Amino acid sequence: MKILVVGKGGREHAILTAISESPSPTDLYSFPGSDAIFELAKPLATPERPVESVESLVSAMQAEGIDLCVAGEESYLVREEGLANACREAGIPCWGPPKESAQLEASKEFAKEFLVRHGIPTGGYDPVTTIDEARAAIGGSYPTVLKFDGLAAGKGVAVCPDETSAEAFLNEVLVERKFGPGRLLVEEFLEGPEISIFASIVDRDYQILAPARDYKRIFDGDEGPNTGGMGAVSSLEMLDEDLRRTIEDRIVRPTVEGLIADGLPYRGFLYFGLMLTKDGPKVIEYNCRFGDPEAEAVLPMVRGDFATYLFEAAKGDLNPELISFSEGWSICLVSASAGYPASSRSGDPITGLDQVAGARVFHAGTRRNAVGQYETAGGRVLVVTASGATRDAAVAKVYAESDKIEFPGRQRRSDIGTRNF
Ligand code: AMP
Ligand code: GLY
């Protein structure tokens, strides 16, 4: 079975690793990939066969006889050409939704309208286009949450404790147009612990996977600016039976029924970002893909035949019994480069990778230098994942293993797996 995974970060490295550990024989491909990913998977694009568009991506898949395309990141799904749409036309099973359905992630207003239309719990909101409308919608009530209505690499959201911070963000988005044209949502501030729920959705069927919690801020104690995520924790123990059932009954199933009612086809992972408020779980956002770094915590716990699971699911047949999740806790810890998240520094040599034992290392932003050594090449650089029977054991292990890896300017949180529990 020839499987292509689209993307180039730690999440895609984790997806490919999980597929490679399946008992079914697979031939793995990656686009655009990275040097570390190419240790597991062949590059789909070659100098003779460059890939510059969704169209050329699909042509390359056809030339190579790819049986299954797995979308790791959202960017190709939400484009005008839509990766899943193009795969469907070419007759290639795709794990990841068509662009119409991927609007659940690409447009925050689309997602809010969907949630409200289907009676799924979420915070109140007002879409606005001007600063005056925004100020009126905020109505002097803080904290308030401001969201640019489009893809902004995780940087289009501001939780504003006061007027000064709100005015600064409004100015960036509506005056300076930092993220380009687009509306802004003024959202009700929700309080409570957050949890990320992942489901595999195949038309009318769904399977809820192991939950996770990620750490978005750069510094310990959830301080500092938002990042793509500095670490994540996953365990089946994070949800008790009552809460699991509430999330399924009020959120997951109504979402699947809503997609059907709205004529939005869906085969792929759907990520529900939830706030566990005192009035019950509420949806903060949907993403039409696995989380990153949550994938690096969740997927190492998958047992069974993940390759066949994805292949059959992409063809319309969800077989929950093909996979299970191991007991215990899995924690992933991100090492980021100097300057992240405002910027990132590349070219710092990485040492100690070969010392890691009993933990996994996923590469988020590395490359091989002229002498074949890995060096930094991005904001989030490496993700180390370890498991343990208890959360404390997993924390101890992941820090011990991550300590073995070094590079100049490394940034790492010291409270991953302990804070928020
Ligand atoms: P989003 O990109 O919509 O997931 O927002 C990024 C982060 O901002 C979330 O993970 C939350 O930590 C925070 N956030 C977003 N919306 C709200 C909200 N309505 N209330 C409180 N915090 C929020
Ligand atoms: N970890 C957050 C995300 O993948 O969007």
Helix (H) or strand (E) holding 14: helix 10-20
On whether both 134 and 82 belong to a single domain, the answer is no
On whether both 146 and 79 belong to a single domain, the answer is no
Amino acid at the residue 202 = V
For the CA of 273, the nearest atom of ligand 1: 4
DSSP assignment string, 238-291: GS-HHHHHHHIIIIIHHHHHHHHHTT---EEEEEEEEEEETTEEEEEEEESS--
Euclidean distance between CA atoms 125 and 349, whole angstroms: 46
pLDDT of residue 154: 66
The finding on whether 82 has its CB within 6 A of some atom of ligand 2 is no
Residue 22 lies in a domain: yes
On whether both 69 and 149 belong to a single domain, the answer is no
Q: Which neighbouring-strand residues pair with 201?
A: 206, 268
On whether both 86 and 132 belong to a single domain, the answer is no
What does the pLDDT look like over 286-303, one tens digit per residue?
999 999 999 999 999 999
Give the number of whichever ligand sits closest to the CA of residue 72: 2
* Residue at which a domain ends, from 187, 209, 238: 187
Using the mean position of ligand 1's atoms as its centre, give its distance from the Cα of residue 157 in Å: 7
Which CATH number covers residue 79?
3.40.50.20
On whether both 6 and 91 belong to a single domain, the answer is yes
* Residue at which a domain ends, from 136, 169, 187: 187
On whether both 87 and 130 belong to a single domain, the answer is no
pLDDT of residue 89: 98
The finding on whether 291 has its CB within 6 A of some atom of ligand 2 is yes
Q: Yes or no: say if 42 and 31 are a contact pair by the CB < 8 Å rule.
A: no
Residue 342 lies in a domain: no
Q: Yes or no: say if 330 and 385 are a contact pair by the CB < 8 Å rule.
A: yes
Largest CA distance in the chain: 60
Residue 9 lies in a domain: yes
CA distance between the termini of the chain: 41
For the CA of 123, the nearest atom of ligand 1: 19
Residue 163 lies in a domain: yes
Range of the domain at 81: 2-95
The finding on whether 296 has its CB within 6 A of some atom of ligand 2 is no
Which CATH number covers residue 157?
3.30.1490.20
Distance from chain centroid for Cα 123? 21
Q: How many residues does the chain have?
A: 421
pLDDT of residue 166: 97
Residue 210 lies in a domain: no
pLDDT of residue 153: 66
Pocket of ligand 1 (CB under 6 A): 123, 145, 147, 157, 159, 187-190, 194, 216, 273, 284-285
On whether both 14 and 71 belong to a single domain, the answer is yes
Tell me the average confidence (pLDDT) per consecutive run of 10 residues in the chain, 421 residues long: 98 98 97 98 96 97 98 96 98 98 95 98 96 96 93 80 96 92 94 96 98 96 92 97 98 98 98 98 97 98 98 98 98 97 95 97 98 97 98 98 98 97 92
Amino acid at the residue 413 = R
On whether both 69 and 140 belong to a single domain, the answer is no
* Residue at which a domain ends, from 156, 187, 218: 187
On whether both 29 and 84 belong to a single domain, the answer is yes
Residue 408 lies in a domain: no
Number of domains in the chain: 2
For residue 238, what are the CA distances in angstroms to 222, 242, 249? 20, 12, 18
Euclidean distance between CA atoms 418 and 421, whole angstroms: 6
For residue 302, what are the CA distances in angstroms to 20, 26, 297? 12, 17, 10
Q: Which two tokens stand for residue 365?
A: 């932003």
Identify the residue whose C-alpha is closest to ligand 2 atom 4: 291
Best residue among 230, 285, 287 to mutate for probing ligand 2, ranked by most atoms within 8 Å of CB: 287
Residue 54 lies in a domain: yes
Residue 319 lies in a domain: no
Identify the residue whose C-alpha is closest to ligand 2 atom 3: 291
Using the mean position of ligand 1's atoms as its centre, give its distance from the Cα of residue 394 in Å: 27
For residue 234, what are the CA distances in angstroms to 26, 193, 243, 269, 393? 27, 14, 16, 16, 13
pLDDT of residue 150: 74
